[in-house]
Structure formats: structure tokens, C-alpha cells
Amino acid sequence: MLEILIKWLVPAILGSGATYLAALHKKSEALKSGLQCLLRAEIIRSYDKYTEKNLIPIYAKEALEKEYKAYNKLGGNDVATNLYRQMLMLPVKYGKENEYVQNCT
């Protein structure tokens, strides 16, 4: 009886576990890809918005830096990287009125 359990049950459990892990990995990769795509789209949207204005509010710059950091950690490194770098060169708006300071990074 023990021999039958070892011969059939153990491989069945291990096979099920491997199948589950493969499905979990596939879902994880899909989530990673989807999140990367959303972050890339947000970086592009920010680029279009703030380069047209030729300035970026400090709060938007801080959000952009966090978005890009996450995007880069997910493996994103294409056109969005160049757009991000260009936005870092935009004048930064710190106040509600016309308080601008050129970003020198």
C-alpha cells in the first residue's frame, strides 16, 4: 500500500504543484507586462502634457520619478526613458503663481 502511494500519489502531488506554479508564473508575467504598459502610457501622457506647457509642477515631477522608477524595475527601457529624461529638463513650477526654477539635472 505504501509503495502504491509513493509510486502514484507523490508524483501526482508534485505534478499538480508544478502545474500550479507554472500558471502562477504566467499570471505574474501578465500582470508585470500590463503594469509596465500602464506606466509607459502614463509617462507618455505626462510628456505630451508638460512639454506642451514647457514646465512641470513639482508634484507631477515627483510622481513621474516614482512612475519611471517602477517602470524601469519592471524592465521598461525604451522610448519612455528618453521622454522621462527630457521631462527632467523642463522648468519646475513650485508655487501657484509664476514661480519657476530651471531644473539642472
Q: pLDDT by residue for the chain (105 residues), tens digit each? A: 778 778 887 788 888 888 889 899 999 999 999 999 999 999 999 999 999 999 999 999 999 999 999 999 999 888 999 999 999 999 999 876 555 555 544
Distant-in-sequence contacts of 22-31, Cβ < 8 A, 24+ apart: none
Report the predicted TM-score, pTM, of the whole model to 2 decimal places: 0.76
Sheet of strand 92-93, all strands in order from the earlier edge strand to the far edge: 56-57, 92-93, 100-101
